[in-house]
Amino acid sequence: MAGTVPNYVWTDILKVPVVTIPYANYDQHNHAPNENMTKKDFVDGIRISYELADRMFK
């Protein structure tokens, strides 16, 4: 990933696996003055998160 997230807390300290899913459109301009995310990509990210959690915790 281009950015950093504190995944080491999960992997190194808690010793559990971690998955990072970046939800963004291709032209998001991350951390720029014109940073953006389309409503469709935002809603799709919520749906994907729900499906993942629903399947993992059944």
Q: H helices within the chain, ranges in order?
A: 8, 39-56
- The helix/strand/coil state of 11 is helix
For 21, the token pair is 């899913």
Query: Tokens 């999960």 label which residue?
Result: 10
pLDDT of the residue at 2: 54
pLDDT of the residue at 40: 92
Per-residue pLDDT of the chain (58 residues; tens, 9 = 90+): 556 788 889 899 999 998 888 888 888 888 889 999 999 999 999 999 999 999 988 8
pLDDT of the residue at 49: 93
pLDDT of the residue at 26: 84
Query: Tokens 């809603």 label which residue?
Result: 43
pLDDT of the residue at 3: 62
Query: What's the rounded Cα separation, in Å, for the pair 42 and 23?
Result: 7
